[in-house]
Amino acid sequence: MTQDSKMTKKRAAIVSDIWTPERPALLERIFGPAERERIEASFSLAPGIVSRKADDRFLESLDGVQVLFGSWDFLQLTAKEIASLDKLEHIFYAAGSVKYFGRPFLEAGIPISTAKKANGRAVVSFVVAQALLASKGYFQSILSSRTRHGYRAAVSRNNDLPGVLGGRVALIGFGVIARGVAAELTRYGMKVGAYDPFAGSDEMATCGVEKIERLQEAFSDYHIVSNHLPNLPQLNGLIGKELFFLMKDNASFINTGRGAQVDEQALVDALVEKPSLVALLDVTFPEPPDEDSPLYTLDNCFLSSHIAGSLGGELSRMSAEVIESSEGWLAGEPLDNLESLESLEVSA
């Protein structure tokens, strides 16, 4: 038992900020019958999903609730609304970044546990898959192989590409996801470097990663560049024209970080002038791109719709992480997935 059976269970609710036909279905998949049963073993769980209503009377449904569970589209409350939830003790958020809703809760002293590690595993596998394919020139080969003549040319050119064992990958930023990517790629025999002024050489060496001292070196010396920078306003537009035009022939740029960090017009210019380059963009700014954005029409730009995070069966890992954390919290165990105001400043 996670809680003494003689004690009254803490009251909990699964919450969402919006209510549409699509999003509750996703939340109900993250917290399905098995997950709800596990929560109910430790908490007195409100039925269904408590969602924001137009008149804000949803707050009445949360009166006396001590624990909130949720995921994407979590409640975005004002400080006054949070103050009305005077019994609230903890939030367990089955997703990654809390930046869009977390600050007022943290400022009110409400701890937030996340599934950032579980969601990060999904992003890691997505980036690793793209990096392995990029090292083989897979995306360039697709473009070249659309005609018989192009196919024959692509086959001969592939011998000049690095391949997995010769591939060099530069990670821009060296947070949790980048470290996971590095661990996987080094196991495949790829050479991995990282640019992050706040991470030391010894820390990177422990992960089998070489420290890149200058951002320009990441783009000029490596075959694949993958962006993992935190979501900070001062980094907007950091990855620009100078960097893209330093990239090697047949190089690939992967972005699963944030679109605003990329000067997209500079990227477009580089993709036009250097057609052997490939951009693999899971995020853009704005998102989705404007209707007339050349990102839709450039052959060497591959857009995906922000799918690097958890999908399908991966969703269960996120709920499992926060439910396990909630059980540990009840037992008085220290939690290793807590957000803080300090970490919020450098998070995705």
Contact (Cβ atoms closer than 8 angstroms) between residue 244 and residue 220: no
User: Would 127 be classed as within a structural domain?
Assistant: no
For 90, the 3-state DSSP assignment is strand
**Upper half-sphere CA count for residue 253 (Cβ side, 13 Å):** 38
Q: Are 243 and 224 contained in the same domain?
A: yes
Please say whether the dihedral angle defined by the alpha carbons of residues 338, 344, 346 and 348, taken in this order, is positive or negative: positive
Q: Are 163 and 90 contained in the same domain?
A: no
Identify each DSSP E strand in 173-311 by its residue range.
191-195, 210-211, 224-227, 252-255, 278-281, 301-303
Q: Are 238 and 273 contained in the same domain?
A: yes
Residue 6 has a pLDDT of: 47
pLDDT score of 158 more than 70: no
Place of tokens 């903890």: 90
- Distance (Å, whole) CA 244 – CA 268: 10
- Distance (Å, whole) CA 142 – CA 299: 10
Q: Are 207 and 91 contained in the same domain?
A: no
Contact (Cβ atoms closer than 8 angstroms) between residue 83 and residue 59: no
- Distance (Å, whole) CA 131 – CA 164: 9
Contact (Cβ atoms closer than 8 angstroms) between residue 159 and residue 153: no
Q: Are 293 and 324 contained in the same domain?
A: no
User: Would 102 be classed as within a structural domain?
Assistant: yes
Q: Are 160 and 272 contained in the same domain?
A: yes
Q: 91-121, pLDDT tens digit by residue?
A: 999 998 899 999 999 999 999 999 999 999 9
Q: Are 105 and 143 contained in the same domain?
A: no
Model confidence band, residue 166 (pLDDT cutoffs 50, 70, 90)? confident
Pull the structure tokens for residue 95. Answer: 């997703």
Q: What is the extent of the structural domain holding 321?
A: 10-118+311-344
Q: Are 173 and 86 contained in the same domain?
A: no
Q: Are 25 and 158 contained in the same domain?
A: no
Pull the structure tokens for residue 293. Answer: 């954005």
Q: Are 156 and 272 contained in the same domain?
A: yes
Instruction: Return the minimum-mean-pLDDT range out of 145-149, 151-155, 258-262, 314-318.
Output: 151-155
Percent of the chain clearing pLDDT 90 (strictly above): 76
User: Would 239 be classed as within a structural domain?
Assistant: yes
User: Would 2 be classed as within a structural domain?
Assistant: no
Instruction: Return the minimum-mean-pLDDT range out of 71-75, 179-183, 190-194, 253-257.
Output: 71-75
pLDDT score of 135 more than 80: yes
Q: What is the CATH number of the domain that holds 94?
A: 3.40.50.720
pLDDT score of 153 more than 70: no
Q: Are 31 and 151 contained in the same domain?
A: no
Pull the structure tokens for residue 298. Answer: 């450039």
- Distance (Å, whole) CA 248 – CA 209: 21
For residue 304, what are the CA distances in angstroms to 218, 258, 283, 328, 331? 24, 13, 8, 37, 42
Number of domains in the chain: 2
pLDDT score of 148 more than 80: no
More confident residue, 22 or 289: 289
Please say whether the dihedral angle defined by the alpha carbons of residues 315, 320, 347 and 203, taken in this order, is positive or negative: negative
**Upper half-sphere CA count for residue 243 (Cβ side, 13 Å):** 26
User: Would 131 be classed as within a structural domain?
Assistant: no
- Distance (Å, whole) CA 47 – CA 39: 12
pTM beyond 0.85, yes or no:
yes
The average confidence (pLDDT) of the chain is 91
Residue 248 has a pLDDT of: 94
Q: Are 319 and 266 contained in the same domain?
A: no
Pull the structure tokens for residue 147. Answer: 């005609």
**What residue type is 3 in one-letter code?**
Q
- Distance (Å, whole) CA 229 – CA 255: 10
